[in-house]
Amino acid sequence: MSSVTDKLFADGRELKLSNRVGKGGEGEVFSLVDIPGHAVKRYFPQIAGDRESKIRAMVGSRVSASATTVAFPEQVVTDGRGKFVGFMMRLVDKHKEIHELQTPSSRQKHFPKADYRFLVRVALNVARVFAQVHSTGCVVGDINQRGILVSQNATVALIDADSFQFIHNGERHLCVVGVPEYTPPELQGRSLKEIVRTKDHDAFGLAVCIFQILCMDRHPFSGRFKAGDMPLEKAISEFRFAYSGRNTEMEPPPGSVKLSDFPPYLRMNFEDAFAPDHVGKRPAPEMWVKSLEELEHSLRPCSKNRLHHFSRLAQDCPWCRMEATYGRPLFVNPDIEPIIVGDSKVDDSKGWMIDVAALLAAVNNCTIPTSVSIALPPIDQTLTPSAEAQQQRDSQWLSPLVRLAGVGITALGVYSLTVKHPVILFSIGLIGFGLFLLFKKGEEKGATLIARHFQTWSKIKTAVQAIQAKAPLDKVQKTKSEALVAIEQYQTLSKSYEKVRVEYNGKRQKEQLESYLSGFPLRRASIPKLRTSDFAALASYNFHTAFDVKTRNVQQVQGIGPVKEANLKAWVRGLEAKFQYNPNYTAEDQAKIRAKQAEIVTKQKGQDDRIKSLIAQLQAEVKAFESWRTQNHPELLTLFRELSQLECDIRAAGGTVPAKDTIAPHSSGYRSTPVWGAGTASTITQPARGVSSPCPICGSAMRLRTARRGRHPGSSFWGCTRFPRCKGTRPY
């Protein structure tokens, strides 16, 4: 039996081992002194015999040359007696296990400058690596978070390649293990020792991995079952994708992303990967590459936080929603060097500085009325009467002659009654006709013209109200209010920046304890009764460290009952017992303060961009509004020419031109929230119920009437006081 100190050889060359860089259940990994960039995996003696044929087949097929980002076996390693002990492979150094990136608390420690664009690029590279593996004919099989490594440059590498399923010259070398949370539904609960894995099985685990990267470590099958407990493995076996548009009877954890936050192609891939009708035809790695490239191209920065990037197809920022739910930042950039950008710079006491007074002046210089009315054209006084007016004026001379004729005919009728043997009916007829002519009321001077005047003025009012209603007033006032709110939010952030150091000094012991407990990730803990699927479920509910367990209720997580909760709390208490407060101001304290300041500066920069964008938008909208106010309205000019002619004709016919009531201005319907510097909020003025507006036909007063027939007998309505001459009505 060989020992660790025995000489090792690869292809006849003696290998000089350096530091041990890893240890697992099958063996140990050592870097090499004389072959940079390479390492040796040395199996434990009881394991080596079972692995020899597979490793020799992998090396013989030169599979490592086809996938440069995978730590495939390159050469067989033997001891001095020629006995197989392991293999030589590429050394994957300066990489971290992928859960250190996708878990927010670990990301801030190991990838402090990583924003969401970095995560999307990593997910894209994971898909590309899987495509490389499948191109070699291998199947990963045992997909897990410790086998996928990530560098600070977002490159991805796979290790433990000796566990991959490999078929060579008809000989099957199977992958006999697997982690339940990455195992597809059709394999859940089955022994994997005799199962030939397929690329479609890998496609399920790859989809889970991509979902966790993009969704802040949420597992796609971890959520709240509507009808009781639902362990993660059972949820997977029953295809209960918690975020699906299908009815899976599962709800996502609070503060989670939504599928609608992603572009359509990516949403479709997740649905297909986790749906029962797509077993055997799940999205391949190449399809994920395409959809993730679509997501990468659609990313835009959040207007409130520059570290937040999300798809422009999403309705709002999912990371702002998540931070609002849990109260902790997802992304923190500790670098806030004193830089100057335009008129802005980082100040030690205020953070990101902008000229608030100048920005306020720019907003308030945009004068916007609370209501709008358009100028009406003047009445043309130079017109001459029309022929119709002349005819109506001439008809007025007939009225005295008609009444005189009435007197004569009436007298004749009376006389005929006094003669001997009168024709009574004829006499009465003469008297009646004479009285009719005598008392016939002559038409009001210019009555027809006056009625048309009322109708034309009603059309003018309707046209004016329609034009005023189209005024872009609400839009401009809304933009102005948003700009003022953004300035106020910036100032609130500046006050928070001022208080960071003072507040930290007041709670240093608490901060140190939080930092201490946050350094113990759940995924690395050994806690009785808790399985890997429990840790995945905890992560889906934003439980990542001992600090999360201490400060929140773990029983909200599906599958975590009183016993597991007690074990988790006992683990936290054991860690707390070892905590020691350091009263001295440390470099870690400075780093914590700097990180908090950097978080605020990032938000201040976001508000700065938003304020300037809103001001530019406001100025453009004000200019467009002023242009609208000065434009001509041809339909009004036509109506006013008609009204001018009617007024000229009424005067010519001897009538009195009716008074024209005023047209109310259009008040803004936008109700702004009163904010600092915003002034008084606008209001909507509506007529009180029970008070009628003028008649829509003639403009006269109206009175309340009750319908006696028609479709709604007994209902109330407004009717013109000039009825039946005018039949104008309005609903009540």
What do you get for the CA distance between the two ends of the chain, in Å? 103
Q: Are 197 and 125 in contact (CB under 8 A)?
A: no
Task: Quote the CA–CA distance of 428 and 167 in Å, as a whole number.
Answer: 127
> DSSP letters along 525-571, please?
---TT--HHHHHHHHHTT--BHHHHHHS-GGGSTT--HHHHHHHHHH
Of 572, 537, 536, 529, nearest to 556 (Cα)? 537
Q: Are 374 and 633 in contact (CB under 8 A)?
A: yes
Handedness of CA 572, 573, 577, 579 (dihedral sign): positive
Q: In angstroms, how far is CA 561 from the centroid of its own chain? A: 35
Q: Amino acid letter at 539?
A: A
Q: What is the dihedral angle through the alpha carbons of 435, 437, 439, 441, rounded to the nearest 10 degrees?
A: 160
Task: Quote the CA–CA distance of 559 and 561 in Å, as a whole number.
Answer: 6
The three-state secondary structure class of 220 is coil
15 forms beta bridges with 8
Q: Amino acid letter at 316?
A: D
Q: Amino acid letter at 60?
A: G
Task: Quote the CA–CA distance of 375 and 648 in Å, as a whole number.
Answer: 22
In terms of Cβ atoms closer than 10 Å to its own Cβ (0-12, 13-18, 19+), residue 280 is: exposed
Q: Are 680 and 417 in contact (CB under 8 A)?
A: no
Residue 276 DSSP one-character state: G
Phi, psi values for residue 173, rounded to 5°: -115, 100
Residue 732 pLDDT: 56
Residues 6+ apart with CB under 8 A from 505: none
Q: How confident is the chain (732 residues) per 10-residue block, as mean pLDDT?
A: 69 90 89 91 92 93 90 94 94 92 88 93 97 94 94 94 91 92 95 94 97 95 88 95 94 91 96 96 97 96 88 93 87 58 66 87 82 79 79 60 66 70 68 64 64 87 84 85 90 90 85 89 90 90 92 90 94 94 82 84 88 91 84 84 85 82 75 43 34 57 69 68 73 60
Residue 677 pLDDT: 40
166 forms beta bridges with 173
Q: What is the dihedral angle through the alpha carbons of 355, 360, 365, 371, rounded to the nearest 10 degrees?
A: 160
